[in-house]
Amino acid sequence: MGERVAGSEMEWREKMNWGEFFAMNGYAFYVWGSYGMAVLVFAIEVVLVRNRRKQTLRNLRLMRDEMGESA
Amino acid sequence: MAINWFKYSAPTTFYGLAGKLIPFFAWPAAILFAIGIYIGFFVAPTDATQSEAYRIIFLHVPTSILSMFLYLIMAGYAALGLIFNTRLSSMMAQAVAPTGALFAFISLWSGALWGKPMWGAWWVWDARLTSELILLFLYLGYIALHASIEDPRRADRASALLAIVGSVNVPIIYFSVKWWNTLHQGSTIKYSGTSMHIAMQQAMFAVLIACWLYVIAVTLARARSIILEREANTQWVNELPEVKWNGEKK
């Protein structure tokens, strides 16, 4: 089905050949290395931002409790 | 109806507003990332000269654009904080910096992984690459300088100067491919039009918008923590339900 876009490549689009898709015609390391690092970096950033909020709230509660005890 | 926009320049109101806005940026960002990646990998055709390696473009170009814009936004906030002495502007500059550094890093990383198969080198000391590396160091320098000064208001002022002076690097990155004979290519998309396949343009545009939305969500979230840390001794912070709540004991 459909017309071929650029010669014999893009086979996975017609046949859904996942092996060929992940091989990226020999450029798998470069393509997935780029996207993989981006996903990793974004995931780490989201975790760090969440942890920072938890830590900040914990510190604020501790500060308030200490003030309450001394008062 | 008069809306007092200056109300939101106060950390008190901005904190609540930002909290409400985050999901409206985070979810569309995730959806647009998925759409962009789908178009980029399943709709966009294979490149005639670069085969499948060119697909790095859908990550490399949006993150590179963002790394430059975020620097100008950071420097702009820092400058506002310096000139008008507004606390929130300085806090926003502080909130943007780590994300800007990450985008500069992804730009360099994906560039190296693209350069190796296409140019035969991970790295060359070309004007475009070198000025982008300097951008990463400027972000890191800003973060380090801000962290090294105890008093936050003094840290704001000192690091603002660094951010403002460093912003001269952004046009250098942008025009480097025109001013010097670089290995890095010039823009494929110009004001006069482009030779790029429509699906490639769509994929790049979708990822670019997704990156913007992600940046807004993550910056607002970080800004909220910065506000709490820097306003820790104020009454409004101590009266927040999330601070009052004490699930661990009592």
Which ipTM was obtained for this model?
0.90
Low-confidence ranges of chain B (pLDDT < 70): 1-8, 246-250
Chain-chain contact of A35 with B59 (C-beta, under 8 angstroms)? yes
Nearest CA to B217 among B30, B10, B35, B62? B30
Chain-chain contact of B238 with A64 (C-beta, under 8 angstroms)? yes
Q: Note the pLDDT tens digit of each residue in B106-148.
A: 999 999 999 999 999 999 999 999 999 999 999 999 999 999 9
Is some CB atom of chain A closer than 8 A to the CB atom of B247? no
Q: How many domains does chain B have?
A: 1
Q: Do the domain assignments include residue B244? A: no
Task: Name the amino acid, one letter, at A2.
Answer: G
Q: Do the domain assignments include residue B188? A: no
Using alpha carbons only, give the angle B210, B129, B47 rounded to the nearest 5 degrees. Answer: 60
Q: Do the domain assignments include residue B98? A: yes
C-alpha to C-alpha distance for A43 and B56, rounded to whole angstroms: 19
Q: Do the domain assignments include residue B163? A: yes
Nearest CA to B205 among B17, B6, B32? B32
Instruction: Give the DSSP letter of residue B46.
Output: P
Residue A7: predicted pLDDT: 46
Q: Indicate left, alpha or beta for B19 from its phi (over 0: left) and psi (-120 to 50: alpha).
A: alpha
Residues of chain A with a CB closer than 8 angstroms to some CB in chain B:
5-7, 9-10, 12-13, 21, 24-27, 29-31, 33-35, 37-38, 41-42, 45-46, 49-50, 52-53, 56-57, 59-61, 63-65
State which residue of chain A sits closest to B235, comparing Cα positions.
A64
Q: Do the domain assignments include residue B38? A: yes
Give me the residues paired with residue B193 across strands.
Answer: B190
Q: How many domains does chain A have?
A: 1
Task: Name the amino acid, one letter, at B150.
Answer: E
Q: Do the domain assignments include residue A36? A: yes
Q: Do the domain assignments include residue A32? A: yes
Q: Do the domain assignments include residue A5? A: no
Q: Do the domain assignments include residue B14? A: no
Q: Do the domain assignments include residue A1? A: no
* Tokens standing for residue B106: 């992804």
Nearest by CB to residue A30, choosing from B53, B105, B225, is B53
What is the CATH classification number for the domain harbouring B107?
Answer: 1.20.120
Q: Do the domain assignments include residue A63? A: yes
Chain-chain contact of B102 with A41 (C-beta, under 8 angstroms)? yes
Instruction: Give the DSSP letter of residue B21.
Output: H
Residues with Cβ within 8 Å of A4's Cβ and at least 6 positions away in sequence, in order, are: A10, A14
Residue A2: predicted pLDDT: 40
C-alpha to C-alpha distance for A47 and A49, rounded to whole angstroms: 6
Residue A3: predicted pLDDT: 43
Q: Is the pLDDT of residue A19 over 80?
A: yes
Residue A15: predicted pLDDT: 63
Gap from B1 CA to chain A (nearest CA, Å)? 36
C-alpha to C-alpha distance for B160 and A55, rounded to whole angstroms: 27
Instruction: Give the DSSP letter of residue B243.
Output: H
Using alpha carbons only, give the angle A25, A31, A32 rounded to the nearest 5 degrees. Answer: 110
Q: Do the domain assignments include residue A2? A: no
Residues of B in contact with A27 (CB under 8 A): 51-53, 117
C-alpha to C-alpha distance for A41 and A13, rounded to whole angstroms: 29
Range of the domain at B76: 21-43+53-183+196-231
Q: Do the domain assignments include residue A56? A: yes
Is the pTM of the predicted complex or chain greater than 0.95?
no
Q: Do the domain assignments include residue A6? A: no
Chain-chain contact of B45 with A49 (C-beta, under 8 angstroms)? no
Range of the domain at A56: 11-70
Nearest by CB to residue B232, choosing from A21, A50, A63, is A63
b/e sequence B104-120, b meaning 16+ C-beta within 10 Å: bbbbbbbbbbbbbbbee
Chain-chain contact of A10 with B98 (C-beta, under 8 angstroms)? no
